[in-house]
Structure 1
Amino acid sequence: MTALLGIPATPHIPVLLNEVLDALSPLDGATVVDGTFGAGGYSRAILAAGAGRVVAIDRDPTAIDAGAALVAGSGGRLSLVSGTFSALDQLALEAGAAPVDAVVLDIGVSSMQLDRAERGFSFRADGPLDMRMSLAGPTAADVVNTLPVKDLARLFWVYGEERQSGRIARAIVARRAEKPFSRTAELAATIESVLGAKRFGEMHPATRAFQAIRIHVNGELDELTDALAAAERLLKPGGRLVVVTFHSLEDRIVKRFLADRSRERAGGSRHLPEAEVPPATFRLSGRQPVEAGAAELSANPRARSAKLRVGIRTDAPARAVDRAALGVPSLSGGRP
């Protein structure tokens, strides 16, 4: 696929692209919401596969600007909307595209954001300590320079699953007392001073802490939870929810959401009758997540942690979301 609608193809190839298209097939004339437009890879491929209309959403103004050429060449088939995917049902309604045949979500930070040092998402290249997807609100620098040590440690433990959360938090607080953090390289160096430098073949020591700060700055797990509920409200019976995640916190929420929504019976026992279960709003497409194959892994190391899960909408009414039941982590209470 070298070009679509007269527009040169983007060099960015989204993770699990063929698998996502297989999960969406057939697309002839379908109306699809791409909740995470990014560099436009999924939207482009979905249009090329025959979708009648794609409503794409992104909260990053640079992604909206970069997608203007694709919109212009789409013949009216692509609408690009500024907003958060947690409100994808309302945004689709405002765009005149509700209900829809499919919703696609590629969760987490985009390659376009990671590869631009000035966005401050990556420890691999020095840049301002920002990490804001929407370019609005408190920055990552605000977080590391103001949170008390206990709150920082809790942040790294909960959102980064970082075992050395306390040590990292104490080192950050000691360093910022001398000079506030303003650059990604400064933060990465402080974390390395605690955990040691990266060894060949190992994950960078700052990976988990950077992930935790980014999730916190952008409210990513709450956004994901609300997006799943919004997709449930928006999809037609038979419509497909296709979600690609990149770390265990995200995947756990998606897995539990689909398991809960596809459950038809509650486990009982000899002593207790089975509890009544609301009608299933989704049925599962496969019990195990789809992961990248060897060829994709060799071409794109970022695919190594990707997991694809698919749910097919029933005609049962949408339900409210229970964050605790889905395991959405909280920064209050518990270790450390």
Structure 2
Amino acid sequence: MEMEFRDQVVIVTGAGNGLGRQHALALAARGAKVVVNDFSPPITAADGTTATPADLVVREIQAAGGTAMAFNCSVTDEAAVAAMVAATMAAWGRIDILVNNAGILRDKSFSKMPLDDFRLIVDVHLMGAAICTQAVWNIMRAQKYGRVVMTTSSSGLYGNFGQANYGAAKMALVGLMQTLSIEGARDGIHVNCLAPTAATKMTEGIMPPAVLEKLAPESVTPGLLYLVSKEAPTRVILCAGAGTFERAYITMTAGVHIGTGDDAAERVAENFEAISDRGDETVPMDGSAQGLNEVGKAMAALAGDEEYGR
């Protein structure tokens, strides 16, 4: 059955260009009413008229027969985000989907990185997503329905030279998603992460043209559509790029009980290969899994269970 979003209301942040624009266009094409949020300044056309990138995306949606409105504000501005949400509710009466896509880069090796650049990236990516999500959260709770996507990155999941600030913020979004997916479950709110590899204004000059062609934003958006659909899973990290989709997991090995003796540090070193063995690793359902595993092994050891206590 075709995935459609008729009568659903969507806010896409950072939607004036790149991935956000493509997400907004695709959702509108499938029937959603779309709020195109962006913070980019107005552009002057050849005829002397000016319009913001968000305005241009709205015109594109409307020209194709869709419904959209623009809202220019920074996702870090709490009052402006609240006004955007209020305007959306006044116009359409509900908010079904939030796509946290807004972002910037300030790449530099950590030794040379001004801490102001670190704070700025965390503010836009992490706090911006938190501000926007909290602004719609109680609306979704009252509706008993909602879909929220955080845009994470392989730079956060796996690291990338020169992106300590970006990677830290992007991995923090995974932590935010993990907890919100638990808190939102009883109210029908599904929260997921999308880790895109796409050619956007942020990646110009980083990759050769032949590679950039394969990494068009259009190759990522199908994954986004699934993550915000009625059939969406929750608590998923979906990686996407060049038409390929992968899933990332935060896992935990079974571990080894070492105890707390005077030689515990040495025993950790001696047993580190066994501690790291992934044969029985799990994907914990919540943060308590670590403590339960540790206490369970300690109790087994106390009871003298050699098979499980180790």
TM class, shorter-length = 0.3 to 0.5
TM-score normalised to structure 1 length: 0.41
Question: Counting helix residues as a fraction of each chain, which structure ranks higher?
Answer: 2
* TM-score (normalizing by structure 2): 0.44
RCO higher in 1 or 2 (8 Å CA, sep ≥ 6)?
Answer: 1
Decide which structure has the larger Cα Rg and report it: 2
